[in-house]
Homo-oligomer: A and B are copies of this chain.
């Protein structure tokens, strides 16, 4: 392998590369087939873009066949240990705030209670930061154990007095239930509110990437190939405090990234 391939490799990415969960790859026969395909195509190493699941598979494959794989963190949830940001997160976050901005336009006009469901089955990065950035009145995330009574007390206390609108961001994985369940119960308990629901769904996974995501992907793309040229394997390349770092797959998979407590404080101050 030599450096002249670098630019070709890093041109790939995003929606150009197709992606799918493979059932066959979960069997040893499927992985053998994959290994043979790689060999017959003269491919000597792989850059695997993804999250926990991708790296778990990559680690097993690498161990079984002695095949060098370096990982690049790509998930909109931003919950990977070993990197400050994951590719896709900034784009998804901007998609969310553009959506909330549009809803707020009529929120000021109509006096309503809006529940907006965003992605993040296990991690509240998108909901929490989306809430701070869009000025949501409340945010429900998996990391905080908000029950619906707490939310209803908050609603009853009148949200923020100086604001006309009432927007609640709900992470899809929140323990209180999806946005629809929550909306139904609140509507039941507060019939005076006109409650509306938006489910962003896969809108959050597409769109033209932001500048931050492109620069991150460019830097990590370069770093991943450099790592392979340097005989690294079974590591994820990440960026921590603006410097490239290598993290063994085993650690990236095992540990969780914690939300910065400053952000909890921020949403509290801003929505009070």
Contacts and interface: CB of A to CB of B under 8 A. Distances in A.
Interface of A: 6-8, 10, 14-15, 17-20, 84, 90, 93-99, 101-112, 114, 129-130, 132-134, 160, 162, 180, 196-208, 210-212, 214-215, 218-219, 222, 241-242, 244, 260, 262-263, 265-266, 269-270, 272
B99 A203 contact: yes
A102 B266 contact: no
Q: How many copies does the complex hold?
A: 4
A116 to B, nearest CB: 8
A208 B208 CA distance: 10
A233 to B, nearest CB: 22
Q: Which of A17, A95, A203, A208 has the most CB of B within 10 A?
A: A203
Contact of A109 (B19, B103, B105): B19
A107 to B, nearest CB: 8
The 5 A-B pairs of least Cβ separation, nearest first, read: A105-B206, A102-B206, A198-B201, A133-B214, A241-B241
Contact of A129 (B110, B215, B272): B215
A8 B15 CA distance: 22
Q: Which of A101, A160, A200, A204 has the most CB of B within 10 A?
A: A200
A40 B132 CA distance: 34
A42 B58 CA distance: 48
Given A102-B206, A205-B102, A214-B97, A266 B133 contact: no
A94 B211 CA distance: 5
Given A15-B108, A218-B132, A202 B260 contact: no
B18 A133 contact: no
A104 B90 CA distance: 19
